[in-house]
Each structure stands twice: as structure tokens, then as C-alpha cells.
Amino acid sequence: MPGSNPATDFSVAVLGELIRRGVQQVVLCPGSRSQALSLAAAAFDDAGLVRLHVRIDERVAGFLALGLAVETGTPVVIITTSGTAVANLHPAVLEARHSGVPLILLTADRPPELRGIGSNQTTEQLGIYGSAVGWLREVEAPSATGFDPEYPGELAHEAYSAAAGHSSSPGPVQLNMGFREPLSGPVGTLPPLGPHAWPAARVTSPVAVDHAPNTVVIAGHAAGPDAEALARSLGVPLLAEVSSGSRFGPNLVVAYRELLNDVEFGGRVRRAFVFGHPTLSREVPVLLQRDGVEVHIVRGSAAEAYNPGHRAASIDEAVAHNGAPDDSTEARAWLGSWVHASRGILDADADAAPLLSGDRPGDFAREQLAAFREPVTRRMLVEAVWRSSWPHDRLVLGASRLIRVADAVLPGKKIPVHANRGLAGIDGTIATALGIAMASQPGAGAAGVTRVLLGDLATLHDAGALLFGVGAEKPRIQVIVGNDGGGTIFDSLEVAATAPKDAFDRVLYTPQSVDFAALAAAYSWEYRRATNRGELDEALSATDGATLIEVPLSR
């Protein structure tokens, strides 16, 4: 019954307005101060008006929401109680900010009279995220006298618009909402949620570009298909990272790192178009800071342009070439030399099984068996995962050594690939993948499986994400753990050659000996162990439910 409890009435009104404007997913963690928001979210979920996901850890919840927003492209609401709960969202908020992912944070708080007096779970929540949130509002605690019925709609309008990027870049926003006791009451009848005429998203006219000799297109993380389209339209090499969304097409150069180090290739580049956020090589920023290279940044909707050395000749949201590819002899030779050289490097470095001769009866079967029994290498692992994934699947890559191996060797394939590369941190990989899986598998019979490939330390860093609450949905997901006993990514850094081995192992490699079978059992995940090529292919072919696949790797 309206007016029965100010906190509940206001929570229902605000959530209802956000749902009316397009919110489809809500993630929450339990808490006392946020109970009115949580119970309102449960009521909207029961009515089939929104999908609710409950987690006990705010860091997990934040990255789960991030994955949901990445997959749906629409703002996702996160509800937390006060104090440390708000702080635990910070890693996901930072990643969302730097990746341009829309999140709406509803952070519950005490009213002003209960702040600054030493109350439990009370801290300064306004400004806690600094510049990571693009829009912030302090919402006064609703009182028994009621509230202006237009106010929730105004808040929802501003919050949704700011998060979705209708007037600037998309990203996280925060409504800090004070509540007085009693903190909740019966939800009652939900308000009608009729259609809302939402203004069209911002459309930017692309800047026209022309042919120029010795041009390359560089596609960093989340560049999207526009990078491939420009490279093909211009007829120039495409240097696309594995999580770019551009790693396909006839102009793709997989071995771009080696060629950028070659004076006959990288040394001759005179113009570069950069899409997305390159993070997987040192060669790209070196090229972009070199004298004589004209750099054009295409930042899309990102809040921050990738501009090493601040040398960009232009920074645009979109560019386009509307003509035919450059068909001159010089242009065809430029593109062809990159593509053919890349193929030659990959063929020479291939870690493939020996050819099966079958000269005598039984030879073929014996050689095939030997191939299946080969121990798994990193290249074999990333190639097997790539080979098993299709456009209706989703692939999520963690911040580990494996994403770099994948970037170095995997051929072009038009499949959805995601990674948390806004800050390229180890945080939240499994939680993000779960959000992507849930959003891409909206109901019974939905096609596809989500595979997340990461190292052992990244898995342990996000082990809490393996927890499904009672009755929570379990999507089809495979968490594939390349277990090399620690952080072998540090072995490739200069410090490995200068630090004492014992100290290096203790503070950088950080060895671990976790029983991943027991970890999977503790969280009720299916467990598989793949020690050779045959076991790996078999494990990847199983797609029902939630599976943790451990793949032992040498250091």
C-alpha cells in the first residue's frame, strides 16, 4: 500500500522508472541498509519485469554486472548496502570506466544525521570512486511526508542517459541513496510500466579518410568490426589483437609483433589508424611514438583515447573510407608482403603434431594415438579453445600469459571475444564471463557456450565467483584453467634475469599448489582434467552446465 514505508515506496518508484527506461538486469548483494531496494528488485523479478542476480561478494557482483552490460549493451543496475560494500565495487567501476561499459550503482547509505558519528558501515560514499563515475547524485532519504512523484523519473532519466552515453561516453554512474529506519515495508502493488519514448542514441558522422602509402590499421581491444572494414576498404594491413572484435578478414596480419620489429615492415609504416585499446604488445606504442608516423586515433565511445606520446594527428569517434581499395601495384605489394610474411612466420613456428604417414598397416592408428597423447602446450591449449568456439559461443580471456600466446598465433575467426582490458587487471574474469554467459543464454534452449580461458592465479583471484546461490541460474560455461603453478607471465619480464631466484619466486611468480578438483567440488562445479590433446578436445566438447577444466602446463 503506497505510503506504508518511505524507503520501500521510493525504491519501487526509482527501480520502476529505470526498468521503464531500459534496464533489463539487476545485480545485488545482501545488506541491511539496502533492504528496500533489494526487496523491490525481487518483486520486479517475480513479476517478470527484470532479471535479478544475487551474489554475496560485491567485487564479484560488480564484475558480473560488467559482463551483463558488455553482452547486452544496456545499463545494468547494481545494488549494495553501505560502507565497505560500496568500496568493494571499485575494481569493477574502474574497469567499466576505462572500457566504456554502462553501470548504474545504487549505493545505500545512512541519512546525513547518522554520518560522521562512528556508525557501523558508514564512510564518505560521495566521491569514493573519484573520476571513475561520470555522473553522481546524492539522494536525500525519503521521509514519511512522501516525495515529489516526478522526482524518481527525473533521477532515472539522468542516471540512465549518463550511463548509456546519450550525451557523452558510456560508463558507470552512482546514485547514493540515504535511508532512515524503518528500512523497509511491504512492497505492495507495482507501478504500471508503460512504454517510454527514449531519445535516440548519439550518432556521430564518420570523418572521411583517403588513401596514403604505407598505411596500417591497428585494432586494439574492443575495436569492433569497423577496424576490419576500414582496412579492407583502404586495402591495407590489419593488425588486430585477439580481443579486438576485428580479428578476421583477408587483410589480417597475425604475426604483427614480429613484423613491426622488422625494418622492412614496421620501419616503413608512415600512417596508422588506431581503433580500440591496444594492450598486448610493446611494439604498437613504440610505432605510434616514432617520428615520421602519422597517427589517427578512432576512439569510438571510449572515455579515454589511446594516444601514446600524445602524438595523434587526429582523435575522432568514427572514420570511414567510401571508395574502392587502392589497387596500385605499390599498394597491393604493401598489403601482400605483410599477409604472406605473417603466414610464413606462423608456419615456421607451428607447434603442430607430426604428419601421419600410415606407410604400413597400423602406422596411422599408432601415430594418431601418439598425437592424442601429446602433453598440452600453451599454443595447443589456445588453439584447441579457438577451434572449439563458434559465432554463437562466447570466449573470455583472462589477464595471463595465455592471452598473449593467443594473440601471437590464433588465425582470423569472426567470433565474440571479450577480455577485461580497460585496465588489463587480473580482477573479476570469471564473474565477467558469467555475466556474459547469462546474458547470451537468456532462456532454456538458447544456443552457445561461454568459455573463459585464464591462468591459475587469475582463477584463484576470482574463486568467489564460482559460488551460485540456491536456485540461481547456471549457464553453460567452461572455466579453463591453464595451471602452471604460479605467475609465469613474470618469467618473460626483464626482472627475471636480474632478481635472485628465491626472491623472484616468492614475490612475483608466487607458486601455488591448489587442488582444483576440490575447489570445483566445493562450489558444485563439474571438474575435468586434461593432460593431453585427446583429453583436452574431449573436455571442450562437453557443454552442459558449469565445468572447471584444469590443464596442467609446464612453467
DSSP string for residues in 197-263: -PPPPP--PPEE----SSEEEEE-BT--HHHHHHHHHHT--EEE-TTSS---STTB-TTHHHHHTST
Supply the DSSP symbol for 146.
B
Answer with the residue of higher pLDDT: 506 or 352: 506
Q: What percent of the chain has pLDDT over 70?
A: 93
Least confident stretch, 139-148, 423-432, 492-501, 503-512: 139-148
Task: Give the model's pLDDT for residue 543.
Answer: 75
Q: Indicate if 363-552 has the same CATH topology as 209-349.
A: yes
CATH class of 209-349: alpha beta
In this structure, which long-range contacts are made by residues 40-48, counting pairs with CB atoms below 8 Å and at least 24 apart in sequence?
A: 40/8, 40/11, 40/12, 40/15, 40/187, 41/15, 41/77, 41/79, 43/12, 43/187, 43/190, 44/15, 44/16, 44/19, 44/190, 47/190
Domain boundaries defined on the chain: 6-178, 209-349, 363-552
Lowest mean per-residue pLDDT among 93-107, 343-357, 502-516: 343-357
Burial class of residue 261, CB neighbours in 10 A (0-12, 13-18, 19+): middle
**pLDDT at residue number 369:** 62
Mean pLDDT in the chain? 92
Q: What is the pLDDT of residues 292-305, one digit of tens each?
A: 999 999 988 777 88
- Check pLDDT > 60 for residue 351: no
pLDDT-based confidence at residue 196 (cuts at 50, 70, 90): low
Q: 172-178 and 136-139: which strand pairing?
A: parallel
Which residues, at least 6 apart from 144, have a Cβ–Cβ distance to it below 8 Å? 6
Is the CA virtual torsion 161, 167, 170, 176 positive or negative? negative
3.50.40.10, 3.30.70.20, 3.40.50.720, 3.40.50.970: CATH of 363-552: 3.40.50.970
pLDDT tens for 387-404 read 999 999 999 999 999 999
DSSP label of 324: P
pLDDT band at 373 (very low <50, low <70, confident <90, very high): confident
Q: Is 548 helix (H, G, I), strand (E, B) or coil?
A: strand
Top-tier CATH class for 6-178: alpha beta
Instruction: Give the DSSP letter of residue 23.
Output: -
Are 89 and 58 spatial neighbours (Cβ–Cβ below 8 Å)?
Answer: yes
For residue 303, the model assigns a pLDDT of 76
pLDDT at residue 125 tops 60: yes
ω into 475 cis (within 30 of 0): no
Confidence of residue 349 (pLDDT cuts 50, 70, 90): confident
Per-residue pLDDT band at 353 (split at 50, 70, 90)? very low
Please tell me the predicted confidence (pLDDT) of residue 355.
Answer: 46
* pLDDT band per the 50, 70, 90 thresholds, residue 22: very high
Q: Is the full-model pTM beyond 0.75?
A: yes
248-259: pLDDT as tens digits: 999 999 999 999
Question: pLDDT value at position 193?
Answer: 85
Question: What CA–CA distance (Å, rounded) separates 84 from 82?
Answer: 7
Segment 359-368 shows an average pLDDT of 60
pLDDT of residue 362: 62
